[in-house]
Homo-oligomer: A and B are copies of this chain.
Amino acid sequence: MKPKLTLKQIARELDVSVSTVSKALRDSPEISDDTRQKIQAFAKLYNYKPNNIALSLKNRRTKTIGLVLPEIVHDFFATVISGVEEVANKRGYNVLICLSNNSFDREVINLEMLANGSIDGFILSVAKETQQKGDYHHLEEVISQGMPVVMVDRVVNDIICDKVIIDDSDGARDAVQQLIDNGCRKIAIITTVDYISVGKLRTEGYLRALRNNDLEAEEDLILKIEDVENSHEEIAEFLSEREVDGIFAVNEQFATSAVKAVISQGLSVPDDVLVFSFSDGELSRRFIPSLSTVNQHGAEMGAKAADLLLDRIEKTTTDEKFQTAIVKTSLIERESTQKRKTLTV
């Protein structure tokens, strides 16, 4: 038996993208006749077998679920994993984790690999690049073949499946309200570009809190970061040119960069500027000053996603309708928003 040909190998051989191969093999009208025929002929020649998920699902249970995540360098997804593992293991399932590294192609390849008989269903958080492209054919395909899928955190509204999200917008609103209650009047937000769904929602929450308190939303106080890895200098420059008394950052990385920038201006957090973060990771807990943050309850989200998935797989739910479970955020107040006198340092 020859080694199995993969989508990626076909793509490389014919010098087209993985997505093009994937679509051509499914007769997608998005792909030109010419390209489609070429790819199908090549696949036939080399005896490429696309997944037959429906068949494999019918014939066996692997007692394994897949978890496809965009990244794990940030604590949040590590907590999601722990929640998924806890529930899955308790219910007798193994977990296989694949990372897309926020790449669309890798996400497509991961789904192809996992769907090929290794798992009974999967939990997915969409890659940044996939959200940017808005191309979800790989998801639609596995779902249409009967594979149970649950989306978690970075979800796609148009895809019909069970979902677990948090109230990103409300969490952000609550955090900004807390800054306002603590006396802030000029509050900057450090957020992501709009195509990241959670960044967009958190920005909406920020604007809502300002409106609720009759504070004006100033375009000039909104920083949208595209290049997360190199955001440190961008944040420092942004803050050096503005006078603010409060900062709301949509993740821990942005928040710690903001604190460093404030301190390097000779100012103090929290005496001069209060800082509220989002996502309760090790960085927030261990930082000096420790960071007030919106707790995303990643483990709870992961656990809920695993329960929804396993209920589908085991058909213990007779409910045909898909549900979107919303995990409530909560605020954790630490040193970065408290007056100095209450600091232990």
Contacts and interface: CB of A to CB of B under 8 A. Distances in A.
Contact of A286 (B1, B81, B256): B256
A109 B256 CA distance: 39
Interface of A: 1, 3-4, 6, 8-9, 59-64, 72-73, 75, 78, 81-82, 85, 89, 92, 94-99, 101, 106, 109-110, 113, 118, 253, 256-257, 259-260, 263-264, 282-283, 286-288, 344-345
Nearest to A8: B92
Contacts of A99: 81, 85, 95, 97
A282 B73 contact: yes
Given A97-B97, A263-B345, A283-B286, A60 B8 contact: no
Contacts of A9: 92
22 contacts: A1-B59, A1-B60, A3-B60, A4-B60, A4-B63, A6-B92, A73-B75, A82-B101, A85-B99, A89-B106, A94-B113, A96-B96, A97-B98, A260-B286, A260-B288, A263-B288, A263-B345, A264-B344, A286-B287, A287-B287, A287-B288, A288-B288
A286 B1 CA distance: 52
Give the number of copies in the complex.
2
A98 B95 contact: yes
Nearest to A3: B61
Contact of A4 (B62, B78, B89): B62
Contacts of A287: 286-288
